[in-house]
Structure 1
């Protein structure tokens, strides 16, 4: 598709971008200083107003491509599409995933790679340290982290900024879970994951387009990745609640037999506890049925994510590729 030759020793930097050319033009220059040998892969997520240009990569003296997706898929799906392209065109490449707005600092890439080498981990993720965001955003994140832990029993405090060893990159690229949430897919892949704390840098240009609704949807998608765990924990919670209600019903009966209960108290307490026990049983049964249905259902047909790439525009350090310009002029 692109004419880019495979190089098993390549370190690829994958950047999903949406109408972020001004920020990316600065970011790629920082990448040139921090990782001059990296191959840049931009997954342009259906940009309409300010799409990243391959000329920006070439102007920074770096090699790379811009993958023009045929429509807006969302950052997570753009990442998956880019990973699949890298695994086909650059087999054996280690991959660094980062956002295009500059909040992921290229100067931290060596830290990710050093942590991977020192720990021997399959993947290294950047857990968020200090970040310049509104108070309401920080509060939402804290609630989300707690909610995610309660539902799944796992900790998810990282975003897209991460480094993947070649085998890990290939596994994530083949996972349907990454279609919903890249960060959650890393946890679901049963990889050896190392974590380092990295402060978020300032955005290079503009303001975040993430609304509260977008954040809620993004959080829900991370939980969906662990649907089986959520259903299992819901079953245990329902069973535990039913057991507590049964124990309280016995206690209420003992109090009634002792004659310590006021008239009508035992009837009200027994009725409430019985209703709660029935609801717990129904919840547990529903969770078991949903889990069984999910296990027995045939896996959905895996989409050909590479078919979502409308065209590939190569960039070379010595200048912009003429074929890329001709391809853009024909569309």
Structure 2
């Protein structure tokens, strides 16, 4: 077990919480996290001025007023308010950016406001960090709280990305600890279409894993319905791999070879004088090849669209208000 350090040697922890319309869950989750932080402070695992950074991602409910109230009651609770909804990943990036620029903490643990990721695992993460890990991944050891469909699609997603050469930590979402070196390295990645789960393993620092049981939401509804999850998965695939383009190229070669075979077959039948009206086969071929061409153009357009977004260099988020110490 790691020995306690003098208070002046203890490092500051910041809990980073992206929040989008979480008025129902924040009053429940924040006290739980505050209790855990206080226990870590009392046991001299982290510095007494450790705190929280909650990012309101364009929430339209009472999320921001709740953050303001929490800040008035406890100045260690800080907040950022986006001018509109920029997305969960950009909320994490904004929090890390401000924490780094303002030197608000030495290391950061990100966790969703619904606390489906077990907050008690934070203590193990801190232990792993103090033992030398620069990155600590929170990894689910079960998905009992998820529906059958969500479990299957999640497993398919991780398997598919792995086959495409994208290195992900299976069953890891955005519950992780980042040390100062990892934060600095991560913020150097400036792409518009950021897929954080794929980038963090690329940083290459010493890492470890903490396993925990996935829980049900404390309150409220999931902010990632099916269509949004599919969109997120697609962004992950197209941001890290050109395998879909290679697949289209491979299919194109197969269709071309099939066309050559049919050409030879047609010539043979013609020379034998056994030709027949082939309206049905002709129409089927047109629909198949035409559909494939449309898929190929659409897929290529998806990548071109990402390039278009990148070259404009628009800001990934706009902060309307800040609540800092």
Matching residue of 1:123 = 135
Q: After the TM superposition, which residues 172-191 of structure 1 pair with which residues of structure 2 at under 5 Å, given as runs?
A: 172-177=186-191, 181-186=195-200, 190-191=202-203
Match of 1:94 among 107, 112, 125: 107
Matching residue of 1:236 = 246
Partners of 1:118 and 1:181 in 2: how far apart? 28
Matching residue of 1:15 = 17
Unaligned runs of 5+ in 1: 1-6, 315-331
Q: Secondary structure at the match of 2:312?
A: coil
Cα distance, 1:83 vs. partner? 1.0
Cα distance, 1:81 vs. partner? 1.9
Unaligned runs of 5+ in 2: 1-8
- Alignment: residue pair count: 297
Distance 1:226 1:300, change over 3 A: farther
Note if contact 1:95-1:165 (Cα within 8 Å) is conserved in structure 2. Answer: yes
Give the TM-score normalised by the residue count of structure 1.
0.67
Matching residue of 1:32 = 38
Note if contact 2:13-2:109 (Cα within 8 Å) is conserved in structure 1. Answer: yes
Distance 1:179 1:88, change over 3 A: farther
Cα distance, 1:108 vs. partner? 1.6
The answer on 1:245 being equivalent to 2:262 is: no
Matching residue of 1:321 = none
| More deviation, 172-181/104-113 | 172-181
Cα distance, 1:286 vs. partner? 6.6
Cα distance, 1:161 vs. partner? 0.3
Note if contact 1:12-1:96 (Cα within 8 Å) is conserved in structure 2. Answer: yes
Cα distance, 1:300 vs. partner? 2.8
User: RMSD over aligned Cα, in angstroms?
Assistant: 4.4
Cα distance, 1:96 vs. partner? 1.2
User: CA offsets per residue over residues 63-83 of structure 1, 9 Å max, x none?
Assistant: 723214155534333222211
The answer on 1:164 being equivalent to 2:178 is: yes
Partners of 2:320 and 2:259 in 1: how far apart? 62
Q: Secondary structure at the match of 2:313?
A: coil
Q: Secondary structure at the match of 1:163?
A: strand
| More deviation, 47-56/64-73 | 47-56
